[in-house]
Amino acid sequence: MATDRSSAGDPASTLALLWGEPVATPGRRGPRQAHSPAQVATVAIELADAEGVEAVTIRRVAQALGLSPMALYTYVPGKAELLDLMLDTVYARMPRTEPADDGWRARAAAVADDNRALYRAHPWVAAVSTSRPPLGPGLMAKYEYELRALDGTGLGDVELDAALTYLLGFVQTCARMAADERAARQDSAMSDEAWWAANAELLARVFDPERYPTAARVGAAAGEAHGGAYSPAHAYEFGLRRALDGLAALIEGRQYSAIDRDLHA
């Protein structure tokens, strides 16, 4: 199955679209455009939110705007460039959570929470590959804001970028797993608790707790605590603390080294 990814279109056309630069189209004449790129992006985003990114086609977006598919091509060169416009738009509209305090952990936690909220509002974003990100103003503002959360901690520039990638990668993984959990619940029309209850008798017949004693003990404890095999909220909260602990080891190591150098200077 093909994976939707950013920056899959023509780079020059994409950057011109994202940054509002005019694109030269020799010989093309037509009526004045009735919609802005922001309006096109909004319609496409609403469609993706409701039905998934695979539902976003030039025909569907054009229909929602009251245009012909050929007319929509005067706004966006194609589906790939439209996807970049959608991503950059949701990045630009992201809320900025007020950190609990001025410490780097609180700032980093706020960044993580902001991205989690983004994925909850727009689940399709977590499934799009952004190894080549859309380099528009929305993304650049997001990147600048998020880097500042970890700036001043003693990390070098390459480490700052890697630390942010590590943190956001954790959030994206949690978002994908949460989306899978929601999809399973919708497909089965059952909560996790109801699904396990419905299959308990079968599981009791095939599962030997004496052969898998650790799995039996831990699985029962986790299932009782979460009401199912997996809790997206617990996974995020537990994992975020561990992710910040990992960054703390790196940051505090850098700070200790700096103090040690100063003492021996």
User: Is 236 in contact with 179 (CB distance < 8 Å)?
Assistant: no
Q: What is the CATH number of domain 11-92?
A: 1.10.10.60
Question: Rounded to two decimals, what is the model's pTM?
Answer: 0.86
pLDDT at 26: 43
Q: How confident is the model at residue 241 (pLDDT cuts 50, 70, 90)?
A: very high
Overall size of the chain counted in residues: 265
For the cut 70, the answer to whether the pLDDT of residue 81 exceeds it is yes
Q: Mean pLDDT across the stretch 217-240? A: 90
| Coil vs helix vs strand at 218 | helix
- 29-72 pLDDT, tens digit per residue, is 555 678 999 999 999 999 999 999 999 999 999 999 999 999 99
Pairwise CA distance, residues 54 & 51, whole Å:
8
Mean pLDDT of the chain: 89
Name the residue ranges covered by the structural domains of the chain. 11-92, 104-263
Percent of the chain with pLDDT over 90: 70
Q: How confident is the model at residue 3 (pLDDT cuts 50, 70, 90)?
A: low
pLDDT at 227: 79
Closest by CA to 115, choosing from 105, 129, 126, is 126
Closest by CA to 98, choosing from 166, 153, 162, 145, is 145
- DSSP annotation of 21: -
Q: Mean pLDDT across the stretch 207-234? A: 88
Pairwise CA distance, residues 26 & 140, whole Å:
31
Pairwise CA distance, residues 13 & 19, whole Å:
10
Pairwise CA distance, residues 147 & 153, whole Å:
11
- 122-176 pLDDT, tens digit per residue, is 999 999 999 899 899 999 999 999 999 999 999 999 999 999 999 999 999 999 9
For 104-263, the fitting CATH number among 1.10.30.50, 1.10.357.10, 3.30.2290.10, 3.40.50.300 is 1.10.357.10
Q: Mean pLDDT across the stretch 82-101? A: 96
